[in-house]
Amino acid sequence: MKQTVTPALRQWIIEQASAGFAPDAVLEAMKSSGWDEDVAISAMESTLREHLQSQNKSATRASPPAADVPRTASPVVARPASSLPDVALSGAANQIDVGDGLVEVIASLINPRVLVLGHFLSDEECDGLIAAARPRMARSLTVETKSGGEELNPDRTSNGMFFTRGQTPLIERIEARIARLVNWPLENGEGLQVLHYRPGAEYKPHYDYFDPKEPGTPTIVKRGGQRVATLIMYLNEPTRGGATVFPDIGLEVAPLRGNAVFFSYDKPEPSTRSLHGGTPVLEGEKWVATKWLREGVFT
């Protein structure tokens, strides 16, 4: 089928160049979204050449339709809901077929997009993740937004570690299930992170996207663009405390073994109401696994 280079696609290419994305990254984003390589190269070359010739004219900044562009939009541009990871719900169905089993839909919010899911992981999978992660745990770090590196943060008092994508058969199976659940390319996911919270440990309310106003953000988003969604999976149940809270919408999700909570955010702004945190563990311990999803291929 012939692929048509639309004005919306040309505008998207200009926005990516203006945002500092390298041509190779833009090309890979187009290819991963289904564009033929020759068409993509021709579109990039002609668009950027014409843009350079007409820089004295004001460029239109309207966001392009999701059907016409790849899924790696500029980190400061809001994406249509159709271009975000999401769980496809059909009618009144309260279960989702993820290929290797059924996942329950416990609660679903449209705006902001939040879903609480039951039986996403089996007991054996929860135990396997904890056992594989336990020997490698260290004090959790957060992104250092000034430089794009990492730092200790007093708001986050857990221990944690990262698996590389597809590192073990167990990780590979869970990542494939996530990709099917939210209809998002597997390669657009960061490595799975496992966190351990002892009594008193917490993660105060925060956003998962990278603040575009911070000087380190351009460095961070070179590895796959902005974060656009999060999936938190509960690997055990603390005796008391440890809930995941969304202060802006008054939602509190209990940390039940095998369950998960999914939420997305269409732009890196507080208006997404994606503020969330982990309340202090009051008794027992809490283990969770987190998957962050990016706009483009995470390298």
Give per-residue pLDDT as tens, 190-231: 999 999 999 999 999 999 999 999 989 999 999 999 999 999
For residue 36, count CB atoms less than 10 angstroms from its CB and return exposed for 0-12, middle for 13-18, buried for 19 or more.
Answer: middle
Domains in the chain with CATH codes: 7-70 (no CATH), 95-294 (2.60.120.620)
Evaluate the omega torsion of the peptide bond into residue 112 and state whether it is cis, within 30 degrees of 0.
yes
Q: Which of 81, 79, 72 is nearest to 20 (CA)?
A: 72
Q: Which of 42, 38, 40, 33 is nearest to 66 (CA)?
A: 33
Backbone φ/ψ region at 241: left (φ over 0), alpha (ψ -120 to 50), beta? left
pLDDT tens by residue, 10-60: 887 887 776 656 677 777 777 767 788 878 888 887 887 776 666 544 433
Q: How far apart are CA 235 and CA 238, in angstroms?
A: 10
Lookup result for tokens 């999701």: 66
CA distance 187 to 4: 26
pLDDT tens digits, one per residue of 149-194: 555 566 666 789 999 999 999 999 999 999 999 999 999 999 999 9
- pLDDT, averaged across the chain: 84
The DSSP symbol for 63 reads P
CA distance 255 to 237: 6
Rounded Cα gap, residues 59 and 14, in angstroms: 9
* Beta bridge pairs of residue 277: 245
**Is residue 120 within 8 Å of 103, Cβ to Cβ?**
yes
Rounded Cα distance between 199 and 202, Å, is 9
The pTM of this model reads: 0.70
| pLDDT score at 152 | 52
